[in-house]
């Protein structure tokens, strides 16, 4: 039954695709038909994971169809070129559809994966014995294999008599200066099940139904090009979407809730009906789930373009590399309550967080011919797992809370300061390319956790990772202490005061833009110098047919687990991969 629905999906996408290709073949140069523009692409991405040269697996065969529809519905005050509409000067409609089928969920038997501690990914069976799991161990539903979604649907309205415009509908909003790092780019959480952070975030942000406005201020004293941009998400918000092993792009752990639920005799639901990576203890109403943001942008007479930003949002769950909490223990839950509710004393959380930020860019032409970018943000009240907030009667031998006591704690909130400084420099390297410059891009990121408590064991005479007495105090990261490496060694994922990441990238053009290579190097100097090396190349076989080849290598300098949360070599140990993607665009 599943196979037949898969086939139906593929057939539908195929028919749509062929129809549009035929349509587009008549107007390859200009995809416009009066006030309507139709454009898009179809692509097939093959992905091979290679832990080493002899050990590889075919882990993705994703077929994607994108269709974009632009409609100039109101111009010069006339709707559909006929009806006079007061107050509005221009209105445009954009619809963007993405349909996806990943055939790998239908035919692969799966492949062996290890968790971050080096153990083979496993889940308990009905008797509580750990059984290795592979992709083929599950009957994946259509929601995993398919996507059939109007990703974006909005109307742009420009008012006639006020310097004000709106974008109303399902959309993405991106502020800030970073390339693929989350700081001021925080309006839309990421869907990290798509391909972790390995692809353009344009593909991975979760679009929400929102109202965005832009007020053209013009000039403010010596400042030019000033505007105020604001948004309101009236409740259509979800936290970052993550998943667990054995899915290929998951946190490198199996679902701890499944494991805990076995210990609790099948109780799998979270407290208050919350859902991990999906829903905290609030309703999806404007009253409880609203998010707002505001920024002022302008340029100084010296040519520095800057923005001042404010956000009031729910915490998305650490899709920005913060080792923050997504769940908290309900520490005051009683044994009786748990049985009556049939819910684990664990709650998915997404508290509101205030954030203020600043960004700027400046092109220094005289001495360095370089564009400098910077961005910084201060967050108030980020939630962290706090080992000092423990279930009562916690201890290795406690019947009720035994398993929870080692893994689940309460939450404490702290402020964080995060920032980035970056440069973009077009540079001639004529021995490598006589025709075009290399654009060299460097970024330096930091996270600083303010008032991070010291880590300690319950018994002051015990030492980390507290094998005798259990954990006493201090913040814990996402990979908490119950994990054991394959050699039985125990580790604690401490939350560090400072986290740092450095990226260096370069790109250029060859053969008149036909060949576009890109190189990226990512280094996390704080966590055992784990790193990532990427090269990718777009080859335009024709204007409409593109071949993309890329390889990513995740590198660790130690055999021990590396608890980094940027998603570099530690999280992705053993996940080096090669991608081959073919795209036809119209």
Partner 1 sequence: MKRLLLLALALLSAAMASADVQPGEEITKANFDKARDLVSPGVAWCVEHGMAMKIVPTKKVEWPRAYREATEAHGGQVRLSADGMELENYVAGMPFPNIDVNDPDAARKIMWNYQYKPLITDDVLMRDFQVPSGPLTYTEPMVPDRDFVIGDLRRLYYNGRLFVDPKPALPNPDGIRYKELLAPVVSPYDMKGVGALYNRYVSAARQDDSWLYVPVLRRLRRMSTAQRSDALFGQDTDQDSYWGFSGHIAWSDWKLLGVKEVLGVVHRENYRAQRCPGGADFAYCDNWEKRKAYVVEGVSKLPQYAYGKRVLYVDTEAWVTLYSDIYDKRGELWKVWLEFFSFRKQAFPGSQLTYEDEMGFTSAAMIDTQLAHATVIMIPGPSSPDPETWYFNKGPQAKSPYASGNTEDVLSVKHLIEAGH
Distance, CA of 509 to CA of 575 (rounded, Å): 29
3-class secondary structure, 444: strand
Burial of 399 (0-12, 13-18, 19+ CB in 10 A): exposed
Q: Is the peptide bond before 465 cis (omega within 30 degrees of 0)?
A: yes
Rounded Cα distance between 422 and 429, Å, is 21
Q: Least distance in Å: CB of 211 to partner 1?
A: 14
| 270 vs 371, beta carbon nearer partner 1 | 371
Contact between 37 and partner 1 by CB under 8 A: the answer reads yes
Find the binding residues for partner 1 in span 155-184 (CB under 8 A). 156, 158, 163, 165, 172, 174-177, 179
Exactly one of 57, 94, 420, 522 binds partner 1 (CB under 8 A); that residue is 94
Binds partner 1 by CB under 8 A, chosen from 1, 53, 76, 128: 76
What whole-number distance in Å separates Cα of residue 44 and Cα of residue 583? 7
- Binding to partner 1 by residue 41, rule CB under 8 A? yes
128 Rama class: left (phi>0) / alpha (psi -120 to 50) / beta: left
Q: Which is nearer to partner 1, 89 or 272 (CB)?
A: 89
122-140 in b/e form (b: 16+ CB < 10 A) is bbbeeeeeeeebbbeeeeb
Q: What does DSSP assign to residue 271?
A: G
Which residues, numbered 299-328, are part of the site for partner 1 (CB under 8 A)?
299, 301, 303, 305
Nearer to partner 1, 106 or 424 (CB): 424
Does 459 bind partner 1 (CB under 8 A)? Our answer is no
Interaction between residue 98 and partner 1 (CB under 8 A): no
Pick the binder of partner 1 from 116, 251, 344, 371 (CB under 8 A): 371
User: Which of helix, strand or coil describes residue 202?
Assistant: helix
Cβ atoms of 483 and 500 within 8 Å: the answer is: no
Q: How far is the CB of 173 from partner 1 (least distance, A)?
A: 8
x/- binding map, residues 283-302, to partner 1, per CB under 8 A?
Answer: --------------x-x-x-
**Identity of the residue, 46 or 89, whose beta carbon is nearer to partner 1 in the bound complex:** 89
Enumerate residues 511-550 that contact partner 1 by CB under 8 A: 511-514, 516, 540, 542-544, 546
CB contact at 8 A, 239 and 350: yes
Q: Residue 95's beta-bridge partner residues?
A: 69, 153
Residue 267 is classified by DSSP as: -
Write down the least CB distance from residue 174 to partner 1, Å. Answer: 4
Tell me which stretch binds partner 1 (CB under 8 A): 33-41, 101-109, 269-277, 378-386: 33-41
Q: Are 402 and 342 in contact (CB under 8 A)?
A: no
Contacting partner 1 within 115-144 (CB under 8 A) = none
> For partner 1, which is the closer residue by CB, 73 or 100?
73
- Containing H/E element for 12? helix 2-25
**Total binding residues for partner 1 by CB under 8 A?**
77
Q: Min. distance of Cβ 559 from partner 1 in angstroms? A: 37
Strands (E), 236-345: 244-245, 251-254, 269-270, 291-299, 305-314, 327-329, 343-344
Stretch binding partner 1 (CB under 8 A), from 238-246, 400-408, 510-518, 527-535: 510-518
CA separation for the pair 466, 107 (Å, rounded): 44
Other Cβ atoms closer than 10 A to 183: 24
Which tokens in the block code for residue 285? 């109403």
How many other β-carbons are positioned within 10 Å of the β-carbon of residue 482? 17
Does residue 112 touch partner 1 according to CB under 8 A? no
Q: Give ∠ CA 374-380-382 in degrees, rounded to 5.
A: 100
Widest pairwise Cα distance in the chain: 82
What residues between 214 and 273 interact with partner 1 by CB under 8 A?
214, 216, 219, 224-225, 227, 229
For residues 470-509, which are near partner 1 according to CB under 8 A?
Answer: 509
Specify the stretch interacting with partner 1 by CB under 8 A; choose among 86-94, 132-140, 260-268, 381-389: 86-94
Does 32 bind partner 1 (CB under 8 A)? Our answer is yes
Minimum distance, C-beta of residue 146 to partner 1, in the bound complex (Å): 23
Nearer to partner 1, 83 or 367 (CB): 367
Site for partner 1 in 392-451 (CB under 8 A): 424-428, 430, 434-437
Select 28 or 79, whichever has its Cβ closest to partner 1.
28
């Amino acid at each position: 039954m599943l196979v037949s629905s898969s086939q139906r999906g593929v057939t539908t996408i195929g028919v749509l695709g062929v129809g549009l290709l035929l349509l587009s073949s008549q107007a390859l140069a200009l995809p416009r038909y009066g006030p309507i523009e139709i454009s898009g692409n179809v692509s097939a991405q093959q992905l091979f994971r290679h832990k080493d040269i002899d050990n590889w697996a075919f882990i993705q065969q994703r077929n994607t169809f994108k269709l974009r529809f632009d409609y100039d519905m109101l111009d010069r005050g006339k709707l559909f070129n006929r009806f006079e509409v007061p107050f509005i000067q221009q209105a445009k409609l954009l619809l963007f559809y993405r349909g996806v089928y990943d055939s790998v969920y239908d035919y692969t038997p799966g492949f062996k994966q290890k968790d971050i501690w080096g153990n083979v990914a496993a889940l308990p069976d009905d008797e509580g014995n750990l059984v290795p799991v592979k992709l083929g161990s599950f009957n994946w539903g259509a929601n995993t294999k398919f996507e059939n979604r109007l990703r974006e649907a909005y109307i742009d309205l420009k008012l006639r008599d006020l310097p004000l415009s709106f974008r109303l509908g399902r959309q993405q909003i991106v502020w800030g200066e970073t390339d693929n790092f989350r700081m001021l780019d925080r309006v839309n959480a990421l869907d990290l099940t798509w391909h972790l952070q390995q692809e353009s975030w344009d593909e991975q942000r979760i679009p929400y139904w929102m109202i965005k406005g832009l007020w053209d201020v013009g000039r403010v004293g010596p400042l030019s090009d000033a505007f105020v941009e604001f948004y309101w998400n009236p409740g259509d918000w979800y936290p970052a979407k993550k998943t667990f092993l054995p899915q290929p792009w998951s946190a490198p752990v199996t679902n701890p809730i499944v494991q805990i639920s076995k210990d609790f005799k099948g109780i799998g639901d979270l407290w208050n009906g919350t859902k991990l990576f999906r829903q905290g203890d609030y309703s999806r109403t404007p009253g409880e789930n609203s998010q707002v943001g505001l920024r002022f942008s302008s340029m100084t007479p010296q040519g520095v373009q800057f923005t001042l930003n404010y956000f009031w949002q729910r915490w998305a769950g650490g899709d920005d590399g913060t080792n923050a909490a997504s769940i908290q223990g309900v520490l005051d839950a009683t044994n009786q309550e748990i049985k009556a509710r049939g819910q684990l004393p664990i709650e998915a959380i997404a508290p509101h967080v205030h954030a203020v930020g600043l960004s700027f860019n400046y092109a220094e032409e005289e001495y360095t011919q370089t564009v400098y970018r910077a961005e910084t943000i201060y967050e108030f009240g980020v939630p962290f797992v706090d080992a000092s907030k423990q279930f009562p009667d916690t201890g290795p031998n406690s019947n009720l809370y035994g398993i929870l006591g080692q893994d689940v704690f309460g939450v404490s909130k702290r402020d964080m300061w995060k920032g980035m400084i970056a440069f973009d420099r077009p540079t001639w390297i004529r021995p490598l390319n006589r025709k075009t410059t290399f654009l060299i891009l460097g970024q330096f990121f930091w996270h600083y956790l303010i008032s991070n408590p010291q880590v300690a064991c319950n018994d002051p005479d015990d030492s980390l990772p507290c094998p005798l007495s259990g954990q006493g105090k201090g913040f814990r990261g996402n990979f908490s202490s119950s994990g054991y490496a394959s050699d039985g060694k125990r580790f604690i994922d401490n939350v560090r005061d400072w986290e740092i990441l450095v990226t260096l990238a370069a790109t250029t053009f060859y053969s008149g833009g036909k060949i576009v290579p890109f190189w990226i190097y990512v280094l996390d100097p704080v966590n055992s110098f784990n790193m990532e090396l990427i090269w990718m190349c777009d080859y335009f076989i024709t204007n409409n047919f593109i071949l993309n080849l890329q390889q990513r290598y995740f590198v660790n300098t130690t055999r021990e687990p590396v608890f980094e949360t940027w998603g570099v070599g530690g999280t992705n140990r053993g996940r080096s991969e090669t991608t081959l993607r073919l795209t036809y665009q119209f």
